Chains A and B, each alone.
Chain A
Amino acid sequence: MSNPRPQSPNMQNYRPQLTSVMSFGHRLSGSALVFFAFGLSAWLVAGAAGPLVFDDAQAVVHSIAGRVMLILASLAVFYHLCNGIRHLIWDSVHGFELRAIYAGGWAVVGASLFLTSALWIWVLA
């Protein structure tokens, strides 16, 4: 064939909807949590390695970048947890009507933001 057919755009044109955005967020938070787990074990190893190494690790954690990373990591934890429960509810074949999908979705977004801010207000206060 001289001209292979062009393909119509998919993600380049399709509208982001609560469904696809939350699903992507679940995957993104899950991948981010892999790195967070890695960082957490590095921090624990630094703790076991003695006060000098641990002081360096704490300096990183208490820096502005470190705090931002921690806040984002806790957001990822809570979002992945709440959306994970939503996924488990779907696995039991409940909550598939559009109204439930959207209500549950916004509830998960609200719950993760609430839990993250509650945790940090409690920690920093």
Chain B
Amino acid sequence: MIVESSEQVPRLKWPRRFPVPRDFGVAKNSRIIEGKSWPEPEGATRIATLRIYRYEPDNDGPPRIDTFAVDLDDCGPMLLDALIWIKSKVDSTLTFRRSCREGVCGSCAMTIDGTNWTACTRAMDELSEPSTIYPLANLPVIKDLVSDQTHLFAQHALTEPWLHTETPAPERERIQSVDQRRALDGSYECILCFCCTSGCPSHWWNGDRFLGPAALLTAWRWLADSRDEGRGERLDSLDDPFRLYRCHTILNCTRTCPRGLNPGKAIGEIKRMMLERGG
């Protein structure tokens, strides 16, 4: 019941969803219908059932859920291995992003059994049966499991994630003590997978103006950097009813980070910095 690390799958499998109608508040073109049920592989002893969100922009059809049966003895141990198995052996039109296959690039972030995680670090035996695989929550869908993250990257760019200095560059490095460098631990490791932002209810309701945990974690990384000289301007840009202060400490972000980072805490530190400034 007490979760120690974000990689733990929830032990309470119920309730699986909030008790709202399946298409609660959903736009007409986003309503999901039941799709195709693909045949089971022959001679397979261990089978996992994956219900995967599909959407083809070329056809005029609505998004649908296809059911696949994966032969666990024929593919690797992770969900990404199963998706690649499906793409190579069952349906080659299944589309998803992937790159490093080890949880450091953030490409394969998706909503797995209702929580956000990277497919390459989610083991098949951690999934429910059947398991539901959706693209990252609350984002426009380009195709199948590929979501449009343009807006999220724009919010990240808005925090101006580079060193702001006025003093001229020194001959060698800008010196930082070990303790000053330690202040960046927990924020520089962000891989911009956007699992946190996509899982934040406040970002669901106000995502157009609320920056979200990923962008705010980046903002904290620069606010905490002792070499950065733009603290005043950075806090000025966050001093707005929506950009920072739509965070109501829901903490879905910390619960879901595949890197084990703590955006909620970073946002709390930003709020404290604002208070200390007199904001």
Contact = CB atoms under 8 A, between A and B. Distances in A.
Contacts of A97: 262, 265
Contacts of A96: 251, 254, 262, 264-265, 268
B178 interface: no
A10 B18 CA distance: 10
Contacts of B210: none
Contact of B18 (A5, A16, A91): A16
Interface of B: 1-6, 10, 15-18, 20-27, 29-30, 32, 53, 55, 57, 60, 62-63, 111, 113-115, 132, 134-142, 147-148, 199, 201, 204, 248-252, 254-255, 262, 264-265, 268-269, 271-272
Given A98-B254, A98-B255, A16 B15 contact: yes
B136 to A, nearest CB: 6
Contacts of A35: none
A20 interface: yes
13 contacts: A5-B148, A8-B138, A10-B201, A11-B204, A12-B26, A15-B114, A19-B250, A24-B201, A91-B271, A96-B254, A97-B265, A98-B255, A106-B2
A98 B249 contact: no
Nearest to B262: A96
Interface of A: 3-20, 23-24, 87, 90-91, 93, 96-99, 101-103, 106
Contact of A8 (B1, B25, B147, B248): B147
Contact of A13 (B17, B142, B201): B17
B252 A98 contact: no
What's the dominant secondary structure at chain B's contact region?
Answer: loop
Contacts of B135: 8
Contact of B23 (A3, A12, A16, A93): A12
Nearest to B204: A10
B115 to A, nearest CB: 5
A10 B111 CA distance: 10
B16 A7 contact: no
A84 B191 CA distance: 33
A28 B201 CA distance: 15
Contact of A6 (B18, B29, B251): B29
A87 B251 CA distance: 11
Given A8-B53, A8-B138, A98-B255, A106 B15 contact: no
A90 B113 CA distance: 29
Given A93-B272, A98-B4, A106-B2, A7 B252 contact: no
Given A6-B27, A106-B2, 14 more contacts: A3-B29, A3-B57, A6-B140, A7-B141, A8-B137, A9-B32, A10-B201, A12-B22, A20-B252, A23-B251, A93-B265, A93-B269, A99-B2, A101-B255
Contacts of B254: 19, 96, 98, 101
Contacts of B139: 7-8
Contacts of A99: 2-4
The winner among A5, A87, A91, A99 for most chain B CB atoms within 10 A is A5
A93 B2 CA distance: 20
Contacts of B53: 8
Contacts of A19: 250-252, 254-255
Contact of A11 (B141, B147, B201): B201
